[in-house]
Amino acid sequence: MPLQQALRHQYTAFANFFAGRAKYPRFKSRHGRQSATYTRSAFRWKDGRLHLGKMEGPLEFVWSWPGIDPASIEATTVTISRAPDGRWYISLSVEADDKGMRLPPTGEAVGVDLGVRDFAVTSGGERIANPRHLERKARNLARYQRRMARKQPGSANRARAKLKVARAHTEVRDARSDFLHKTTTRLVRDNDVIVVEDLAVTNMVRNRSLARVISDCGWGEFRRQLEYKTAAYGRRLIVIDRWYPSSKTCSCCGHLLVELKLGVRHWRCPACRTWHDRDVNAAKNILAAGRAVTACGADVRHSGSRRVRSAVKQETQPARAGTPAFGL
């Protein structure tokens, strides 16, 4: 059955390629994640125990859903996978009714401005610190990689050194995933409407000075989790245009600065003399833009030129009017 499922995956990959939805299919690397998928005819799930085809006894595993009884699950497919760090996983596909997942309304809305110094700043002034998971493990990871590079290719010592490198990467990935899940779940539970920017992460990582830091933040995974959690829990996610000048616009009077460099973290509006924190002001403008989308159903777009493309988040986009004013 896993061989037949592999052919089905290949057929899907080629169908997506000829339809223009994906690139040409590639062979799977034997050094990466390995998986085998079993359909209903190749496994038996009975009383919370899993019996795979051509196995004499049930497969031993540790259940990771403490609030759900394994005996009450009717699985449709089972996927057995092995990660590069040597750990094995069982993934079950089940049919679930999400009607009971709807959360009661809170009447709250929040704008979220993503960044590097602080992972996120909300329109209410809350700052979510950037844990910098990769930076904390970079020293050990570099040491493991140097040790692996000294080993003879194909030797058992190199295989053991490679396993240590994979485990170090797994620790970083698991810590980042845990942080993103906790952050997105809290935002979804506390707010009915969440407004974020449509960031082009793929273009941002082309900046060689910020590529590692931006990749470590996981902005793309943050938005993906917000999308499916808001849909599951009955919330609403609004994504505004990436060229909307949220940092350069005064959230009090709407004055737009001509230029605002990345190094400037605070500025005073020359029109109403309001002292702004750059990130909090951007989050407030993002929330206001999201409410405008909710009210009129239109997209919020920047009225300036769209010819300029930058790897930095919207700061080099030309503005319409105004003068920068910094000081007391």
- Orientation of helix 219-232 relative to helix 156-190, angle to 10°: 50
Catalytic site residue from 113, 192, 198, 259: 113
- Please count the residues of the chain: 328
Annotated active-site residue in 221, 279, 299, 315 = 279
The gap between the terminal CA atoms of the chain, to the nearest Å, is 71
CB 26 within 8 A of CB 34: no
Active-site hit among 47, 97, 197, 216: 197
Let me know if 74 is a catalytic residue: no
315 is catalytic: no
Helices (H) and strands (E) counted in the chain, each on its own, are 7, 12
Reply yes or no on whether 126 is catalytic: no
Give the DSSP letter string of 150-200.
HSPTTSHHHHHHHHHHHHHHHHHHHHHHHHHHHHHHHHHHH-SEEEEE---
Single out the residue of 226, 157, 218 nearest to residue 195, CA to CA.
226
What angle do helix axes 156-190 and 133-150 make, rounded to 10 degrees?
170
**Which residues carry out catalysis?**
113, 197, 279
